[in-house]
Every structure is written in structure tokens, then in C-alpha cells.
Amino acid sequence: MREITVSSVFVEMLLAGAEQQGINCNEILSNNNVSRLTLAHGETRVPLESFAAIAREIMRILDDEFLGLAARKQPLGSFAMMCRACIGAKTVKRSIKRTAHYWNLFANTYHHEVMISGGKVFYDVSVIENSRPLNDYCVVALLSSVHRFHCWLSGQFIPLISVSMNFAEPSYSAEYRALFYGAEIKYGQPICQLTFDTRYVTLDIVQTPDTLESYLRGTNLSLLYQPRHYRAISDQVRRWLEKNIRRGNYEATLTQAAAHFQMSQQVLHRRLLAEDTSFKEIKMQTRRDTAINLLFSEKNKIEEIAMMVGFSEPSAFIRAFKKWTGMTPLGYRRANR
């Protein structure tokens, strides 16, 4: 799914470490067609490709996979080495324990620990004494990457029972809820934590060193930038909707989606609800993100983009886009030139 967009809030968090070290982030943004004017609107979003490119550029400039947000630099290549250390594990249980042990070797800002008790697995991340991250981006990205990497390793979606965060609930908490697939998120906790059912630790590792190299070519520690080769139903519906929009089927319905996935409408609705979303919400996000990516490319006029995402009248598209991002399509395009 290349049409995904990322909230401008995350872009600002991404830049904080580089800015503190005197890096000209306006130039980095400009290199990737993102402007400060766009970021000033809290509701705006940027294409995933631009977001990931900004993260890669900051990592390269700082020589730091933690983007200047942790107590000290995290050497480039650390994430890839962690993945290679885990690929030989036979099961998710062995891999997730290797993950925690690997990160603890660096003793960089966070201590990782895996506990299994009462039919649940707890992956804990706590701040090391006298260490202080610049903001919460780093720990959220770490937790997200641990979850998504093990889904990929096992070839199955691992539902999270709950997620704990050691900071107060932010105004953009809905973004975190979507990031962790609708799992309950508890804020203001002593530590950050992922919790899932123990039956998933017995899953075999189905990936190989060869598939890992392909995986690593498309990933880094930046938030959301993880391939999703597993069975989260919201992702499957999103992919299906993207294909339909590209083919000109703007009126794809829940009934058609249920038929495609060979289940009843009620079952599909319940499965999406379990991931804290709905068909209507995913369809809105898909149209929004497709429009944003098309505006960035500058290949099409506003009127053409309106038609391409299913609006018969440009005026209706303009109203919808302003509701989505706080800006008009033309204003958004001009700001990011």
C-alpha cells in the first residue's frame, strides 16, 4: 500500500532531534516536497514516501537510527542486525526474546524485557535511569516495529490485547490507535508495553534470510514504514479499495467487499470493528490518501484528481479535502511546491 499518508504531528516529532542539533530541517522538508506551512495545519498529512524519505535523510545526516531523539546515537544498521539475529529463531517466542536481548546490548535510553504469565506475553520497554528521550516518537516506533516485524516473521497477524504508554494521552491518540490496529491503549502507565496472547509465541518463523533481505530494502525505523505481509483485515480491505479506485470503481461497497473476502457483511463488519475501524472509515482514508499523493505528484489538475477519487463535482471534492486536512487542494499543492 503506497497510498498511505502520515499525520503532520509525526513529521514534527521526527524533526525535533535534528533541529536540536542545529540541522536545517526546512531544507530536508523542501528536498521531499513538504513545507512548514503544511505542518502548521495540525490536521494535514503527508505521503508515506515523503515521510520515510525525511526519516532516512535525518538518519543519514545524524548517523543515528533513533533520529537524535534518544540519549545517544544508535548506529546505522542496528535495526537490520536485529532482524538478522532473529531470522534464525524457530519460533516467535525465541525471536521476541532475542529482540529484547539485542536492544539491551546498547543500553540506549530504553530497557526491553519479555515476560510470559497468565496466558499473556508482555513486551516491556522502560526508560533507563538518568536517560530521557526527546519525545515519544522513538518508543512508539520501537513498539510498532517489534509488533509488525513479528507479524511478518510468522506470516500471521498477531492481535494485541492492549498497549501501555508512559505518557499522557495526546490529542492525536486516534493515530496511535490505528497504528496498533485498534488495541486498547492505556496512557500514563509506569512503562510502555505490548500485550498479546501466549498462543502466538508458538508460531513458527516462516520467513527466510532471502525474504529478509527483500524486507529490509523496504523498511527502516520510521513510524508506519513496515511491509504488512500478514492478515490484518483492515489492511486487506484497504488494498482492495485502492485497486478498485485505480480501476475507476469509486462506489465499492461493504457488500462487494464481503463477497470478495468470502464472508458475510456482518462478519466483515465485526472484524473491522475489532481493529477499531469500519468500511466507511477505511474508504474515506483511502480516497483522502490517494488524493494527497496525487496532489504531491503534480501530474493531474485538481478537477482530474476529484474525478479520480470519485467526486463528480470539484466543489464537493474541495469541501471534503478541506474537512480532511484543513486546507483546500490548491492551497495544499501550492504549500508543498
pLDDT tens digits, one per residue of 217-269: 765 544 444 444 556 788 889 889 988 888 888 788 999 999 999 999 999 99
- Taking residues 200-206, what's their average pLDDT? 95
Q: Quick check: helix, strand or coil at residue 135?
A: coil
- Specify the number of domains making up the chain: 3
pTM score of the predicted model: 0.83
- Taking residues 273-277, what's their average pLDDT? 86
* Structural domain includes residue 157: yes
pLDDT at 24 over 70: yes
**Residues 91 and 65 both lie in one domain:** no
* Structural domain includes residue 222: no
- DSSP label of 198: G
pLDDT at 232: 78
* Structural domain includes residue 225: no
pLDDT at 150: 94
Can you read off the three cell numbers belonging to residue 85? 539475529
**126 closest CA partner among 103, 93, 149:** 103
- Final residue before a domain boundary, out of 28, 45, 74: 74
Residues 264, 309 contacting (CB under 8 angstroms): no
The pLDDT confidence band at residue 296, using thresholds 50, 70 and 90, is confident
- Final residue before a domain boundary, out of 34, 49, 74: 74
**Residues 150 and 83 both lie in one domain:** yes
pLDDT at 221: 45
**Residues 166 and 88 both lie in one domain:** yes
| Residue 15 C-alpha from the chain's centroid | 17
- Taking residues 139-168, what's their average pLDDT? 93
pLDDT at 110: 97
pLDDT at 223: 45
* Structural domain includes residue 218: no
- CA–CA separation, 267 and 264 (whole Å): 5
pLDDT at 105 over 70: yes
**Residues 208 and 253 both lie in one domain:** no
pLDDT at 42: 61
Q: Across all residues in the chain, what is the average pLDDT?
A: 89
- Final residue before a domain boundary, out of 74, 97, 113: 74
**Residues 202 and 263 both lie in one domain:** no
**Residues 27 and 91 both lie in one domain:** no
Query: Percentage of residues in the chain with pLDDT exceeding 90?
Result: 64
Query: Residue 280 sits in a domain of what CATH number?
Result: 1.10.10.60
* Structural domain includes residue 203: yes
Residues 169, 248 contacting (CB under 8 angstroms): no
Enumerate the β-bridge partners of residue 58: none
- CA–CA separation, 104 and 266 (whole Å): 45
DSSP secondary structure of 2-61? ---EEEHHHHHHHHHHHHHTT--HHHHHHHTT--HHHHHSTT-EEEHHHHHHHHHHHHHH
**Residues 100 and 151 both lie in one domain:** yes
* Structural domain includes residue 201: yes
The boundaries of the domain holding residue 23 are 5-74
For 276, left (φ over 0), alpha (ψ -120 to 50), or beta?
left
- Taking residues 5-29, what's their average pLDDT? 92
pLDDT at 259: 94
**Residues 121 and 141 both lie in one domain:** yes
Residues in the chain: 337
**Residues 88 and 168 both lie in one domain:** yes
pLDDT at 329 over 80: yes
**Residues 152 and 102 both lie in one domain:** yes
Select the more confidently predicted residue: 277 or 43: 277
**Residues 144 and 173 both lie in one domain:** yes
Name the percent of the chain in helix, strand, coil, to the closest 5. 55, 10, 35
* Structural domain includes residue 130: yes
Select the more confidently predicted residue: 145 or 2: 145
pLDDT at 2: 61
- Taking residues 74-90, what's their average pLDDT? 94
- CA–CA separation, 152 and 235 (whole Å): 13
- CA–CA separation, 102 and 110 (whole Å): 12
For 262, left (φ over 0), alpha (ψ -120 to 50), or beta?
left
pLDDT at 37 over 80: no
* Structural domain includes residue 219: no
**Residues 96 and 68 both lie in one domain:** no
